[in-house]
Chain A
Amino acid sequence: MRATALPAALALALALAPAGARANPLDMYGFLSRSTALGGAVTADVGDVSAGYYNPAGLARLRSFRAELGYLYTSPSLNTDGRDNHVDSTRGFVGGLVAPGRVFRLPFAFGLAVHVPDERLSQVRALPQTQPRWELYSVRLQRLYIAASLAISPWRWLRLGAGLVFMASTRGGFDISGRISATQPANSALTHGVDADLTAVRYLQAGAQVDLPGNVTLGAAYRDEFKLDTALDADLQGQIVVGGINDPRALTIPGHYGLRSHVMTAFQPRQVALGAVWRMTPELRVMADLMWVQWSRYENPTASLDVALDLTIPAGVPGLRQPSVPQPAAREAMRFHDTFVPRVGLELTTPVGRHALAFRLGYHFDPTPVPAQAGLTNFIDASRHVAAFGLGLTLRRLGALLPGTVVLDVHASMQLLNSRSIVKADPNDPVGDYLATGTVLNLGTTLAVGFE
């Protein structure tokens, strides 16, 4: 891959950025097998396609073109009161590429990271706020994710990277205007207009890696917040005619009915990760991360509805009053709180002839940002312990067809959700007390090909 190919690759990434994409499942389950098996503690260590998610600066580690393709499968078993709520599995293809080159003699790389669900590209569900739902699972994880990143290494000990993740927001509306006959509806004369607009939402991610003496590397990564809104506006502007539609003597009541619906269909909190890796020996490395996640800006995903009715009732019409418009239910404040997520990982690599075999362990603790649900809302979640294990087989110089390396990584991780009692303040709560707990099995594999 030459530097001249980079603009074309970037254009490809932009062309593939889908209109319907939304938040990503990578925060919950990790991205690609090696990084997932290390508990995601790779901010300072990542140097493969997964850098497109964990830390774009890591892309600049690579000196040759690399393509990766894998599959992610998760099996949630999330329960309330001991009954499985059958939350959807998240599964799909994962992969991407890294295309390195040189700009002004400096190492440079472009990376593309993709998660393509194999069931649905995105999902939107609007539920009443009293309806129990596993808020951080289910709909939120049925997403397509595409990130395009660039990285540069101005000095051998420093790598910098940044990227954009592309999302889309939907806004639509329809207008109806004309005359409505109250006595002869079939004679009503109405014109309709529909307007739908898909607008792009982009958010930034950036990172850095610094090599220190003593085989230690520090890393930092930043992922910006994004909110994805779906809005629907409806306007009915016209006249209600009591009598013949064209009869000038008929009673005419001008009016306007407006409806504004707004729902937040996805939210990704702002994240800052700091990490370190210590290569203790050429075969053994340990790594740790600490991530701050700004959940406190999470908004109530329940649809907000504004309805307005304005009728101009002519004077001298007794007994005719403008009907009242029902008031929408007040939306509860979410009161999510920020969390700190600690991660650790360990990788042991053993040479096998000219090839290599890697053993990986990882762990992270993900405190729930969801506060006690003592009121009307039922956003279910619990703190997670996530333990991961993985293997990686690196095959080198397999022949003229593949002069580079072929890497096969596999991972298995298990999320264990702490049991959480949801107790209600009101003994007449429509849902009542319940106990939430669960596990999520996460399996995956990645095949990587690195060219010389």
Chain B
Amino acid sequence: MKALRTVVLALVTGCGTLASPGAGDTDLPSGRSGPYRLLDSEELSEGLCLLREESVVLSDPAALPLGPHRTALYFTRREGARRTILRAVVVDGRRLEAPPEEVLAPSLAWHGDGVGAPDVAATRDGFAMVFDTAAGLGLATSADGRAWRSSDEPRLTADASLGELTPLRAPTLVVRRDDSLIIAYESAGAIWSATATALAAPLSRVDADERTPRRESLLAPGDDARDAGVVGYASGAVGDPSLRAEDSLAGRTLYRLFFSARSAPFALDGGSDFQRAVGLAGSFDAVHFTRSETAALGGRVDPSVAAPSAWSDGSLRTWLFVNGRCDSNGRNQGIRVAVAPGNRRYPRTP
């Protein structure tokens, strides 16, 4: 019996000292709702921005996945009053595969001085792009994502009687499996949407709450001008929508809407200062959205963050491309990258 006790004690003591840290929490599901962290100049080769150009503003990124590690990034290049749309290919969220190329420039009369704020989606026959002009929202199609043909006239123009008191801008596009499409856009500090049964079919505007006499937007500024302590998120204007549809393995489609949020200016700052943040809202029907209680990306590090577009290159990691400052004083505006989860730092790209 003594020998048995010795053996058992030895086993107990020995086994208790050989353990690994334990697992069971790798590759767990994540809603990709952040919070996101902006990459800094130690993690990118070109400084704070992934895309920048001297004396030119680069803005309004829109990601179109090309594969597990590559995404096309469409964005606006504004030089003076002229706006064009460029395309770059980003690898692993932080590195450009080649210099950006211009893919759409103002060529039709209704384009005016420029085209911009693009969003691109894959269709059955190729790709579709929505963009804004001073005259309204346009639609372009392409077989390869690089050579685009614009619609001959705006597909949607502002209708003040329906609450669209300012020109429509920053459209985003979702093409569903049945070829129907949803376009969300910004006007009058709110986010609205329209749908069509096919690319060429006429767009019909969506009223998010048909029980009220006037048309309701998908997402409106919050009621509390001081944000109830969440400065820069709930109050003020919302805009720059980026809508994506995700089919979960659980059998449902979830619509995620990233957007820019801006606090209402208040008297303490001379009535002109406001703060920005990137917000996220979710919906199961693309009509009724619920806004997250906290911002996905705050404006503390960069007070000019706006116009988000998300791209997941793995099971858990999501990159968020946003407008932002490329230098400390904000004179140079370009496209920055944020990532979630943000607890890991990345080595500088070559």
Q: Chain B CB within 10 Å — which of A87, A92, A137 has the most?
A: A87
Cβ proximity bits A416-452 to B, threshold 8 Å, 1 near / 0 not? 0000011100111111111100000000000000000
- Interface residues in chain B, defined as those with a beta carbon under 8 Å from any beta carbon in chain A: 1, 4-5, 8-9, 11-12, 15-16, 18-20, 22-33, 248-252, 254-255, 280-284, 289-293, 315
The answer to whether A119 touches B18, judged by C-beta atoms less than 8 angstroms apart, is yes
Smallest beta-carbon distance A424→chain B, Å: 8
Given contacts A16-B5, A80-B29, A428-B281, could you give 15 more A-B pairs where the C-beta distance is less than 8 Å? A16-B12, A18-B12, A82-B249, A83-B315, A118-B15, A119-B20, A132-B25, A139-B22, A144-B12, A427-B283, A428-B282, A431-B30, A433-B250, A433-B251, A434-B248
Judged by a CB distance under 8 angstroms, whether A340 is at the interface is no
The answer to whether B15 touches A117, judged by C-beta atoms less than 8 angstroms apart, is yes
Expressed in whole angstroms, the Cα–Cα distance for A116 and B25 within the complex equals: 24
Expressed in whole angstroms, the Cα–Cα distance for A114 and B9 within the complex equals: 12
With A18-B12, A428-B281 as known contacts, state yes or no: A85 contacts B22, CB within 8 Å: no
Judged by a CB distance under 8 angstroms, whether A88 is at the interface is yes
The answer to whether A88 touches B15, judged by C-beta atoms less than 8 angstroms apart, is no
Expressed in whole angstroms, the Cα–Cα distance for A433 and B22 within the complex equals: 26
Smallest beta-carbon distance B27→chain A, Å: 4
Please tell me which stretch of A120-128, A205-213, A392-400 contacts chain B, meaning at least 4 of its Cβ atoms lie within 8 angstroms of it. A120-128
Give the residue of A120, A132, A435 whose beta carbon is less than 8 angstroms from that of B248.
A435
- Interface residues in chain A, defined as those with a beta carbon under 8 Å from any beta carbon in chain B: 8-9, 12, 15-16, 18, 80-88, 92-93, 114, 116-121, 123, 125, 127, 131-134, 137-139, 142, 144, 378, 421-423, 426-435
26 interchain pairs (CB within 8 A)? Answer: A8-B1, A9-B1, A16-B8, A16-B9, A16-B12, A80-B27, A86-B24, A88-B22, A116-B12, A120-B22, A121-B12, A123-B19, A127-B25, A133-B24, A133-B25, A138-B22, A139-B24, A144-B12, A378-B29, A426-B282, A428-B33, A429-B282, A431-B30, A432-B32, A433-B251, A434-B248
Smallest beta-carbon distance A209→chain B, Å: 28
The answer to whether B249 touches A138, judged by C-beta atoms less than 8 angstroms apart, is no
The answer to whether A86 touches B250, judged by C-beta atoms less than 8 angstroms apart, is no
The answer to whether A86 touches B18, judged by C-beta atoms less than 8 angstroms apart, is no
The answer to whether B15 touches A435, judged by C-beta atoms less than 8 angstroms apart, is no
The answer to whether A428 touches B290, judged by C-beta atoms less than 8 angstroms apart, is yes
The answer to whether B29 touches A428, judged by C-beta atoms less than 8 angstroms apart, is no
Contacts of B283 in A (CB 8 A): 427
Give the residue of B15, B25, B291, B292 whose beta carbon is less than 8 angstroms from that of A85.
B25
Expressed in whole angstroms, the Cα–Cα distance for A65 and B293 within the complex equals: 66
Contacts of A8 in B (CB 8 A): 1
The answer to whether B24 touches A88, judged by C-beta atoms less than 8 angstroms apart, is yes
With A16-B9, A86-B23 as known contacts, state yes or no: A121 contacts B16, CB within 8 Å: yes
With A16-B8, A93-B11, A427-B283 as known contacts, state yes or no: A432 contacts B22, CB within 8 Å: no
Expressed in whole angstroms, the Cα–Cα distance for A206 and B71 within the complex equals: 63
The answer to whether B19 touches A120, judged by C-beta atoms less than 8 angstroms apart, is yes
Smallest beta-carbon distance B15→chain A, Å: 5
Expressed in whole angstroms, the Cα–Cα distance for A357 and B20 within the complex equals: 39
The answer to whether B29 touches A81, judged by C-beta atoms less than 8 angstroms apart, is yes
The answer to whether A427 touches B255, judged by C-beta atoms less than 8 angstroms apart, is yes
Expressed in whole angstroms, the Cα–Cα distance for A73 and B290 within the complex equals: 46
Smallest beta-carbon distance A105→chain B, Å: 26
Residue of A nearest to B282 (CB): A427
Expressed in whole angstroms, the Cα–Cα distance for A127 and B23 within the complex equals: 13
Contacts of A86 in B (CB 8 A): 23-24, 26-27
Smallest beta-carbon distance A420→chain B, Å: 9
With A16-B5, A88-B22 as known contacts, state yes or no: A120 contacts B15, CB within 8 Å: yes
Expressed in whole angstroms, the Cα–Cα distance for A18 and B252 within the complex equals: 48
The answer to whether B250 touches A422, judged by C-beta atoms less than 8 angstroms apart, is yes
The answer to whether A432 touches B23, judged by C-beta atoms less than 8 angstroms apart, is no
The answer to whether A421 touches B250, judged by C-beta atoms less than 8 angstroms apart, is yes
Residue of A nearest to B19 (CB): A120
Give the residue of A16, A125, A134 whose beta carbon is less than 8 angstroms from that of B22.
A125
The answer to whether B27 touches A88, judged by C-beta atoms less than 8 angstroms apart, is no
The answer to whether B23 touches A88, judged by C-beta atoms less than 8 angstroms apart, is yes
The answer to whether B15 touches A433, judged by C-beta atoms less than 8 angstroms apart, is no
Smallest beta-carbon distance A152→chain B, Å: 23
Contacts of B251 in A (CB 8 A): 421, 423, 433
With A121-B16, A139-B22, A427-B255 as known contacts, state yes or no: A12 contacts B1, CB within 8 Å: yes
Expressed in whole angstroms, the Cα–Cα distance for A422 and B25 within the complex equals: 17
Q: Chain B CB within 10 Å — which of A117, A430, A433 has the most?
A: A433
Expressed in whole angstroms, the Cα–Cα distance for A9 and B8 within the complex equals: 14
The answer to whether B12 touches A434, judged by C-beta atoms less than 8 angstroms apart, is no
Contacts of A121 in B (CB 8 A): 12, 15-16
Give the residue of A85, A119, A142 whose beta carbon is less than 8 angstroms from that of B26.
A85
The answer to whether A423 touches B24, judged by C-beta atoms less than 8 angstroms apart, is no
Contacts of A15 in B (CB 8 A): 5
Expressed in whole angstroms, the Cα–Cα distance for A139 and B23 within the complex equals: 9
Contacts of A431 in B (CB 8 A): 29-31
With A88-B24, A125-B22, A435-B249 as known contacts, state yes or no: A428 contacts B292, CB within 8 Å: yes
Enumerate the 10 nearest inter-chain pairs by beta-carbon distance, A residue then B residue, closest first: A427-B282, A120-B19, A421-B250, A432-B31, A435-B249, A434-B29, A138-B24, A433-B250, A433-B248, A83-B27
Contacts of B29 in A (CB 8 A): 80-81, 132, 378, 431-432, 434
The answer to whether B22 touches A114, judged by C-beta atoms less than 8 angstroms apart, is no
Residue of A nearest to B246 (CB): A432
Residue of A nearest to B291 (CB): A428
The answer to whether A432 touches B12, judged by C-beta atoms less than 8 angstroms apart, is no
Smallest beta-carbon distance B94→chain A, Å: 23
Residue of B nearest to A20 (CB): B16
Contacts of A433 in B (CB 8 A): 248-252, 254
Expressed in whole angstroms, the Cα–Cα distance for A434 and B246 within the complex equals: 12
Residue of B nearest to A84 (CB): B27
Contacts of B4 in A (CB 8 A): 12
The answer to whether B12 touches A87, judged by C-beta atoms less than 8 angstroms apart, is no
The answer to whether B23 touches A87, judged by C-beta atoms less than 8 angstroms apart, is yes
The answer to whether A81 touches B249, judged by C-beta atoms less than 8 angstroms apart, is yes
The answer to whether A434 touches B250, judged by C-beta atoms less than 8 angstroms apart, is yes
Residue of A nearest to B4 (CB): A12
Contacts of B25 in A (CB 8 A): 85, 127, 131-133
Contacts of A87 in B (CB 8 A): 23-24
The answer to whether B252 touches A428, judged by C-beta atoms less than 8 angstroms apart, is no
Expressed in whole angstroms, the Cα–Cα distance for A434 and B11 within the complex equals: 41
Contacts of B254 in A (CB 8 A): 427, 432-433
Expressed in whole angstroms, the Cα–Cα distance for A78 and B284 within the complex equals: 27
Contacts of B11 in A (CB 8 A): 93, 116
The answer to whether A430 touches B33, judged by C-beta atoms less than 8 angstroms apart, is yes
Expressed in whole angstroms, the Cα–Cα distance for A120 and B284 within the complex equals: 44
Contacts of B28 in A (CB 8 A): 80, 85, 131-133
Residue of B nearest to A434 (CB): B29
Give the residue of B27, B255, B290 whose beta carbon is less than 8 angstroms from that of A426.
B290
Contacts of A92 in B (CB 8 A): 15
Smallest beta-carbon distance B146→chain A, Å: 33
Smallest beta-carbon distance B25→chain A, Å: 7
Residue of A nearest to B315 (CB): A83
Q: Chain A CB within 10 Å — which of B11, B18, B24, B284 has the most?
A: B24
Contacts of A80 in B (CB 8 A): 27-29
